Chain A
Amino acid sequence: MASPARFWTRPWVKWASIGLFVVLAVVVPLLLPEFANQTIARIGVFAVAVLGLNVVMGYTGQVSLGQIFFVGVGAYATAYGVNAGWNIALVFVFACILPAVLGLLVALAAARLGGLAIAMVTIALPLVGLPLAKRLSDFTGGSQGTSARFTDAPEWTGLYDDQWQLYIVILIGGITFLLTRNLVRGKYGRAFAIVKGNEAVASSMGVSPYRYKVLAFTIASLIGGVSGFLYMVVIQYTSPETLHFGHSIELLASMVIGGAGSIIGSLLGGAWYVLLPQITNLIDPNITAMLQGAILLVVLFILPGGLVSLPRLWRRRGGGDHGARGGGAAGPGQRTDAAASSSAAPAAPAIQAAPAVPGDAAADPPPSPPMQS
């Protein structure tokens, strides 16, 4: 029996699965009922937000509690541009650049502080953002919020609105995911991983922790802006409540649940963010908060490495050669894609040492010693 691992690395299988994914992305919106399309689109919106958070937290190891602020700024920028009658491409650029610039400014100051201080600074963002959004009513519509309905399906497509919106989300979200994947698997990703693992080691190798922290934070803000644009594509309304600090925490929880430092994990995190309230609403709308807390705890107990570690748990159970019961995450813990790719491609000269920083992989989930060879 050919081992499944080898099957998946065969080039034609790879290409076929990419082809399958593209075809599915094109066809699925046409097949599914309206509500499913809308739900998938919402998952896309928040998957992008979680992806941005992953760049700064999962890959670079800097705690950010302000991601929702950048999503909100992106949404407000989009609403403002649309209502001012700008070209939609310009609106999109604006919705990306504005949060990125804000993120850069904050990071320039905050990254110097290091440690938990950067987390404290990012806490301030949504806390300041919400009253600010209420106060700057000329731009934001005040506490009544602002809506921008610009994504109705054009006549010539013959599509329903929800299908059209889902296509936009798949296209923009897909490109964002692809670019981010390339980023974190390339030399920047390896630099991020070292900064996360040990800043002193990073400095000694000529990787400036400060510069890479600022870079990661700025990219995270930019991706947050993309998410904000998509937020307006799908939800078409934003208000100060969008920036509520609680949503930042929910995003953070979604990132951990999905799988920190993982591209697929970001997608799962987005799904978690959107589906958990819907599922708890199905069970009993009166106790949603309690149910969400309980489910969160259960998942974290079973899968400390996040949902993305589920297949590994399975494999371990099925294979059974190591007998690591309940240790799905105990093995490689949470594999950062960056670390994985750097070990797979040891060509990068300066950063050879990346795989030699095992703390990186086992550091932030509950510390669990790598058990197998």
Chain B
Amino acid sequence: MSTNRRKLRVASVVAGIGIVAVLAAGCSRGGGTPNSTDDGAAEASPGITDTSITLGITTPLSGPTAGPGTCTVAGITAYFGAKNADGGVEFGDGKTRTVEIEALDDEYDPQKAKANYDQLKSSVFAMTAGLGTPTNRAWREAAIADEVPQALIMTGDPIFSDAEESPWQLGFVPIYQNEGQAFGELLAGSSEDHKVAILSQNDDYGEGYVEGFKKGIEGADNIEIVKELTYEATDTTVDAQLTELAGSGADVFFNAMSITPLVISSLQKTQELGWLPSWFLPSNTSSPSAILEPGGAAAFPGVYTVAFAQSAAAPTFADSEEGAAFLDQLKEYANYPDTPAFPHCVWSYQVGATLEQVFAKMTEPTRADFMEQLRTISGYTAPLMLEGSTVDTTVDGQPAVSTVQVQKYNGKGYAPAESWGQ
């Protein structure tokens, strides 16, 4: 008897919950948050009103990459902070909007980056400026599926600049190939014959540089690659490779290396071996104070690298009008009182300036129109850009900035190198 009553009770409880649940399910999601805005074309996308627009950033703000990551937020925050203080940014539809930045820390963890994207996507108009290849790749496909712009992000990975593969993306900084190619072209323009030794990291980073370099010297018969070796990103020494390369008798050393201590020890080891070629180093491992000075780079006939933006650490930077304004705004609006040690602050500032150009062309407050206009900027010289570099978003397969300037180390900092040996 009691078993029956118990069964009855269980049944009624479950049935009761079930009924409530089904009723609740019936009215769920219908009027709730829609997954995408595929209704009217002119209906405003999320994150934009008549008076404001919100941009989202997911970037590492803690952990080993926190330095550059913090810069990617600070630069754009400073830029739009100053604009907002002047009343806002004028859009192509005639309205003036203030630009709000919502930044979240992803600790350089792809999983957290995806979580941040999920959190932001329905409240921001577009995602931008975030640093990191894996952390941007983690939600690239989701952004395509959700039709959320992932615009002007900081990664040298070419996939983000391929309009067919990444219709809702665009990279900002030059891809690895751009850097290698710029140096290759400069070298090919030399009046002398050169023998080149190549050392590269055995991954997409090293391969990208070498691919670009080979494209740059294509057809130049004064350049010969005499030896090409690789190392693993986990190696703690490349002495064996250097010794072998030194034996090749090359006078130019193309070193696509991303690891700071390895670059320093390579500079020292090469001198020990008595091999004194001209060097090429990638933009992220060519810091004068952190790498070249400790490595004793002045011993070499030339150390070349590439850049597209002015270095905030350069002594003349704070004296220029643009540079001083940049540092002031960084202090005032982005809570970043020091002179940035990473180029990402300047880059992020330029992302802000480029976005303003896009906003000025937008006639509809939609993500689709934003993406369309994003790919129409050309010949724009953003603040703090080096002469000769411009923003050009119209070339498929290239990031927003693909023209870099080769620079040569002069013992203190870098100076533009227009031709070989200068």
Contact = CB atoms under 8 A, between A and B. Distances in A.
Given A34-B35, A285-B105, 12 more contacts: A19-B17, A23-B14, A34-B33, A143-B233, A144-B134, A145-B134, A161-B145, A242-B111, A247-B109, A285-B103, A285-B104, A288-B61
A163 to B, nearest CB: 9
B225 interface: no
B203 interface: yes
Contacts of B87: none
Contact of B204 (A33, A143, A231, A235): A143
Interface stretch (B42-50, B135-143, B337-345): B135-143
B111 A235 contact: yes
A137 interface: yes
A235 B113 CA distance: 10
Nearest to B144: A149
Interface of B: 6, 9-10, 13-14, 17-18, 21-22, 24-25, 28-29, 32-33, 35, 61-63, 70, 103-105, 107-112, 114-116, 118-119, 122, 133-135, 137-142, 145, 157, 159, 202-205, 232-234
A280 B25 CA distance: 32
A245 B158 CA distance: 28
B391 to A, nearest CB: 25
A9 interface: no
A31 B28 CA distance: 5
A131 B232 contact: yes
Contacts of A38: 115, 118
Given A34-B122, A239-B110, A142 B28 contact: no
Contacts of A238: 110
Interface stretch (A10-18, A211-219, A323-331): A10-18
A264 to B, nearest CB: 21
B14 A16 contact: yes
A30 B142 contact: no
A142 B116 contact: no
Given A31-B28, A278-B119, A235 B110 contact: yes
Contacts of A11: 6
> From DSSP, what is the main secondary structure of chain A's interface residues?
helix
Contacts of A247: 109
Contacts of A143: 133-134, 203-205, 233
A288 B110 contact: no
Contacts of B134: 143-145, 237, 239-241
Nearest to B57: A285
Contacts of A289: 62-63, 107
In the A-B complex, list the 5 residue pairs whose CB atoms are closest, starting with the nearest.
A239-B134, A289-B62, A27-B21, A131-B234, A19-B14
A16 B139 CA distance: 40
27 contacts: A12-B13, A19-B13, A23-B14, A23-B21, A26-B21, A30-B24, A30-B29, A31-B29, A34-B35, A42-B111, A131-B234, A135-B232, A143-B203, A143-B233, A145-B110, A145-B138, A149-B141, A231-B111, A237-B139, A239-B137, A241-B134, A277-B105, A285-B105, A286-B70, A288-B105, A289-B62, A289-B63
A181 interface: no
A286 B28 CA distance: 36
A312 interface: no
Nearest to A11: B6
B21 A237 contact: no
A278 B109 CA distance: 13
Nearest to B14: A19
B105 to A, nearest CB: 5
Contact of A33 (B33, B103, B139, B232): B33
Contacts of B116: 281
A236 interface: yes
B176 to A, nearest CB: 12
A12 B6 contact: yes
A278 B104 CA distance: 9
Nearest to A145: B134
A240 B63 CA distance: 16
Given A142-B204, A143-B134, A160-B35, A241 B108 contact: yes
Interface string A28-41: 00110111001100
B25 A27 contact: yes
B114 A235 contact: yes
Contacts of A303: none
B62 A288 contact: yes
A105 interface: no
Contact of A142 (B6, B70, B203): B203
A237 B141 CA distance: 9
Contact of B203 (A137, A147, A285): A137
Contacts of B108: 241
Contacts of A240: 134
A266 to B, nearest CB: 18
A288 B203 contact: no
A23 to B, nearest CB: 5
Given A241-B110, A241-B134, A15 B10 contact: yes
A76 B96 CA distance: 47
A134 B203 contact: yes
A142 B207 CA distance: 12
B205 A35 contact: no
A256 B219 CA distance: 63
A39 B105 contact: no
A88 to B, nearest CB: 18
B61 A286 contact: yes
B10 A30 contact: no
Given A131-B234, A277-B105, A33 B110 contact: no
Given A35-B118, A237-B114, A288 B107 contact: yes
Interface string A146-171: 01010010000000110000000000
B114 to A, nearest CB: 5
Nearest to B111: A235
Interface in A253-301: 274, 277-278, 280-281, 285-289
Contacts of A27: 21-22, 24-25
Contacts of B205: 143
A187 interface: no
